[in-house]
Amino acid sequence: MQAPTLLDVYRARKTIAPHIPRTPLHYSAGLSEMLDAEIYLKHEEYLPLGAFKGRGGINLLANLTDEEKDRGLITASTGNHGQSLASAGKLFGVRVLVGLPENANPNKVAAMKALGAELIFHGNGFDDARSHCERLAKEEGYRFVHPVNDPLLIAGVGTQALETIEDLPDVQVLMVPLGGGSGVSGACIVAKGIDPSIEVLAVQSELAPAGYLSWRKGEIVEAETTTFAEGVATGSGYELAQDIIRDLLDDFLLVSDEDIRRAIGTLIEKAHTLAEGAGATALAGAIKYPEKVRGKKVAITVSGANITVDQLRQSLEVYQS
């Protein structure tokens, strides 16, 4: 696999522009005062699917051959990537099957059903579902779409960082949550291609540390996932994203699930913003490691807002305790 380039991200922006609205980058006075920094939030939760992944799905489907479209697509997801492909499949008239863990977020399941995806529940986690879908692709002839190891997906989601830097050219730090790594690797390609002095920081739950361990050890590592934040709950590092961030990422931060829950509450109180667990993970990193942002101009990605009522209730209980 060839890593996408900055030019590929510019091409992706042209491809998705008729379908994906530009999301706002808003200054947060409350978070800025709290963190002693100039904090801006990149509001990917404003997108129609409530998450950044829609960018990648459009770019992928628009670039497939007719033969690939006719075969139908199969992928695995904890929800947001599946919504992205389901939505793009509906737009382009392509059959989409999505493999999900048995305990998938019910809100995301309902959204994928409404978008016309055929759902396959298998296993206790994302990687169980992914392995099952890879087998089905070989047996049935579907075009398998890896949720991370695909240059078109990475170039598509990289457009969020491109928008951020265009709107805030003197940004010093980009903080991005990491699950599989498409968003972070896309941000690295964009930031380092435009201004190498921009720091890119990845943040991941310590209860799903495979991405961090793979980055630290320089090889693909698998690890148990027990985090409630399904958007960052991947049990393995992935080759293409890891190849990119190994060379370009400035630092990698781990946070606890309690940190993430507190960040959900903080976003509501300080920035009037609703986020799911993965969507609040980058802010959790800034709160836990304030020295990484103090005195700097920082853009923090809110990657999605597809949170359940129970997850929100539990998070507010932690925040208020």
pLDDT band for 127, please (50, 70, 90 cuts): confident
Q: Which residues are catalytic?
A: 53, 303
pLDDT band for 126, please (50, 70, 90 cuts): confident
Mean predicted confidence (pLDDT) in 246-272: 98
Q: Is the pTM of this model over 0.85?
A: yes
Pick the more confident residue, 105 or 151.
151
Q: Which amino acid is at 276?
A: E
**Is 317 exposed, middle or buried, given 0-12, 13-18 or 19+ CB atoms closer than 10 A?**
exposed
Residue percentage of the chain with pLDDT more than 90: 93
pLDDT value of position 103: 87
pLDDT band for 177, please (50, 70, 90 cuts): very high
Residue 79 pLDDT greater than 90, yes or no: no
Mean predicted confidence (pLDDT) in 136-153: 95
Mean predicted confidence (pLDDT) in 49-68: 95
Q: How do the domains of the chain map onto residue ranges?
A: 6-52+152-320, 54-148
pLDDT value of position 124: 87
The CATH number of domain 6-52+152-320 is 1.10.150.80: no
What architecture is the 54-148 domain classified under in CATH?
3-Layer(aba) Sandwich (3.40)
| Cβ count within 10 A of residue 110 | 10
| Cβ count within 10 A of residue 314 | 15
Closest to 258 measured CA to CA, from 319, 208, 201, 180: 319
Mean predicted confidence (pLDDT) in 308-321: 96
